[in-house]
Amino acid sequence: MASSFGFDLRTLEAFVQIAESGNLTLAGQRLGMSQSSLSQILTNLEAEMRVELMDRSVRPMEITTAGRYLYDRAQSLLQEARLTSQKMRKADYKLLRHVKIALVDSIITAVGKPLIDVLRQRTQSWAAITGQSHLHAHMLLSRQADIIISDDTLSDHSDLDRHRILREPFVLAVPNDYTGPKTLADVLQRLDFIRYSTSSLIGQDVELFCASPARSRRCACSWTTPSPSCQPWPVPSAAPSPHRCVCSRAASASTR
């Protein structure tokens, strides 16, 4: 099959030997090829590149400026090909070569050890990155990470695999001495509401819930210092209930 590059690895290997020896006969002995075969390879390569690579007017032949450029590039390509061939023959394909996983700090403190144990069993090497979920989403979409554990399901991207691993309900904490009505709307109307910043995904979920027509006015509360003694109440089921979700690109998880 003809190559769209104008050369293949065998052609480059022949050219390197010709350039180094300056002699077709000597290059042929090193490669186990006839002089006429090498001469034809060199002629065809020059035709494909549309430039003279070896100066045949002198003996031994001398490499031209264009030939020197191709020689340097060919050395790099051949070296990479040799390394690839060696690694392909020695690699253990039962394990993934390298997996990069991103997750929030609170999750790695809870599941860090069992997670790392699994990574060690199934990968040749791995890396774990912590930080905010929205940064992890960007890493996954830009292929800087293979897997993320996040409360952002990236629902707008249909090419991702998702697996729910745990669910965490929101809890509203109020002072122990609070005796007022216990509906969420009444509590938010009577007490200042301290909530997550909208720079976090949880904060964005809370804001979306508070922005609903029935609650938007009551949630517009000022910041205050919380009471040192609080009692937690579960937020009604209508409130957002964030979950941690494992997201991955199917291709990345299987090939990287």
Q: What is the count of structural domains for the chain? A: 3
pLDDT-derived band at 213, boundaries 50, 70, 90: low
Q: Are residues 187 and 228 in the same domain?
A: yes
CA distances from 155 to 7, 10, 109, 160, 234 (A): 46, 48, 26, 9, 26
Query: Is residue 236 pLDDT above 60, yes or no?
Result: no
Residues 157 and 248 occupy one common structural domain: yes
Q: Residue 232: is its pLDDT beyond 60?
A: no
- Mean pLDDT of the 64-90 span: 93
Task: Please report the pLDDT score of residue 83 as a whole number.
Answer: 92
Same domain, 53 and 120: no
Q: What average pLDDT does range 117-128 have in this prediction? A: 88
Whether 111 is covered by a domain: the verdict is yes
Please, which pLDDT band fits residue 36 given cuts at 50, 70 and 90? very high
Between CA 28 and CA 69 the distance in angstroms is: 22
In a domain, 67, yes or no: yes
What confidence score (pLDDT) does residue 34 get?
93
Least reliable range by pLDDT among 51-55, 86-90, 198-202:
198-202
The answer to whether position 194 is within a domain reads: yes
The answer to whether residue 1 is domain-embedded is no
Tokens in use for 184? 């969420």
Q: Please report which confidence band the pLDDT of residue 3 belongs to, taking 50, 70 and 90 as the band edges.
A: low
C-beta pairs of 151-158 under 8 Å, 24+ apart in sequence: 151/104, 151/201, 151/202, 151/205, 151/242, 151/243, 151/244, 151/245, 152/201, 152/245, 152/247, 153/245, 153/247, 154/247
Beta bridge partners of 99: 126
In which domain, by residue range, is 216 found?
171-239
Q: How far is CA 10 from the centre of its chain?
A: 34
- 70 touches 55 (CB < 8 A): no
Q: What's the CA angle centered on 232, arms 202 and 215, to 5 degrees?
A: 55
Q: Taking the complete model, does pTM exceed 0.85, yes or no?
A: no
Residue 4 in any domain: the answer is no
Looking at residue 153, which CATH number applies to its domain? 3.40.190.10
d(CA 209, CA 215): 8
**Contact at 8 Å (CB) between 218 and 181?**
no
223 with 198, same domain: the answer is yes
163 & 248 share domain: yes
Boundary (domain end) residue, out of 90, 119, 148: 90
List CB contacts of 175: < 8 A, sequence separation 6 or more: 191, 227, 229, 230, 231
Tokens 């929205």 correspond to 134
Listed range (42-46, 51-55, 251-255) with the worst mean pLDDT: 251-255
Same-domain pairing of 77 and 115: no
Q: Indicate the length of the chain as a whole number.
A: 256
Nearest alpha-carbon partner for 223 in 252, 253, 191: 191
pLDDT digits over 87-117, tens only?
888 777 788 888 999 888 777 777 778 888 8
Would you state the pLDDT for residue 220? 31
- pLDDT score at 231: 52
* 212: confidence class by pLDDT, cuts 50, 70, 90: low
Do 154 and 248 reside in the same domain of the chain? yes
Indicate whether 123 and 249 sit together in one domain.
yes
Q: pLDDT exceeding 90 applies to what percent of the chain?
A: 31
Residues 85, 15, single domain; the answer is: yes
Residue 246: per-residue pLDDT: 52
Distance CA 207, CA 196 (A): 9
Average pLDDT over residues 174-188: 82
- Which secondary-structure segment (H or E) carries 209? helix 201-210
Pair 63, 100 in one domain:
no
Higher-pLDDT residue of 125 and 209 is 125
- Does residue 189 share a domain with residue 136? no
C-alpha angle 75-79-83 in degrees, rounded to nearest 5:
175
**Which DSSP symbol is given to 238?**
T
Q: Are residues 26 and 82 in the same domain?
A: yes
